[in-house]
Amino acid sequence: MPVRNDFKPGEFCWIDLNSHDLASSAAWYGDLFGWTHAVMETPGGGPPYAFFMHGESVVAGVGEASAEMKEMGVPPMWNAYVASSDCAATEAKVKQLGGTVTVPTMEVPGHGKLAFFLDPEGASFAAWQATDEGSPGVLVDDPTGLCWTELMTHDTDKAKDFYGKLTGWDFSPMPMGDVDYTILKNQGKDAGGMMAMAGPDFEGVPAHWMVYFAVTDCDATAAKAGESGGKVIMPPTDIPVGRFSLLSDPQGAMFSIITLSQAPA
């Protein structure tokens, strides 16, 4: 299984789930993907946090939302983190470029620093500055691992201006039929994608980042999600790179699954 702990600034390096009930999330994703979970010690007695595991490999994190977050209406959702060499400097640049800081830079003792932001259109994302060089790494690309991260936006020009200046990404158009799709390039390598939300199907849908998990059978996984209390928002559909489906877990957190037509480069 490909496990990485060598993420460069500008790469997506971590994902975690903001859950309103960690135990039920752990059980549901465990049944769907075969994940186990390992509860971590939370500094200062904060809300519970755990690692999702596939075998011996870390796949993602899951944290229970605090009472304050629930009162503020923060929904269950998957969070995507971009690697940063200086989280505080990234925070300052986000503000300079017209984004919003929702969680200022804070230290996770023994591991790193993080901050949460909204881009100018309101899509939430995070920055992560690793300080622990002995990290066991994160599973990517193999079945049930993170394989893609994608910005869904109504204004691609504004997004390119913001993220290009913030991360140094370049943008490469990708033919996708009638869909306006762009590949995000970080130091010449694919870092993620961006899709324009155009047309009546996307009216009222806020800008957001979407995480994709690799699966060996998209149809079977989507069916299992729907039968176990989740929702199949978009049924399994063929696209140029494989077959994907958009799902939500029983608490409403959305994510995508994909069976790739070929292994990631």
The 10s digit of each residue's pLDDT in 181-230 is 999 999 999 999 999 998 887 888 999 999 999 999 999 999 999 999 99
- The secondary structure element, H or E, covering residue 225 is helix 218-227
Fold of 3-139: 2,3-Dihydroxybiphenyl 1,2-Dioxygenase; domain 1 (3.10.180)
Largest CA distance in the chain: 51
Convert 138-152 to b/e letters by CB count within 10 Å (16 or more is b).
bbbbbbbbbbbbbbb
Q: What is the mean pLDDT of residues 244-252?
A: 96
What the block records as the tokens of 106 is: 């804070």
pLDDT, tens digit (0-9, with 9 covering 90-100), for 89-141: 999 999 999 999 999 999 888 788 999 999 999 999 999 999 876 566 788 87
How far is it, in rounded angstroms, from Cα 139 to Cα 85? 21
Question: In the chain, what percentage of residues exceed pLDDT 70?
Answer: 96
Measuring CA to CA, which residue among 84, 58, 77 is closest to residue 145? 58
- Strand bridging mode 208-214 / 254-260: parallel
Amino acid at site 26 = A
Distance CA 233, CA 226 (A): 9
DSSP H stretches of helix in 10-50: 22-33
Tokens at residue 220, please?
């079977």
Averaged pLDDT for residues 255-265: 82
Residue 265 has pLDDT above 60, yes or no: no
- Residue 112 Rama label (left phi>0; alpha psi -120 to 50; beta): left
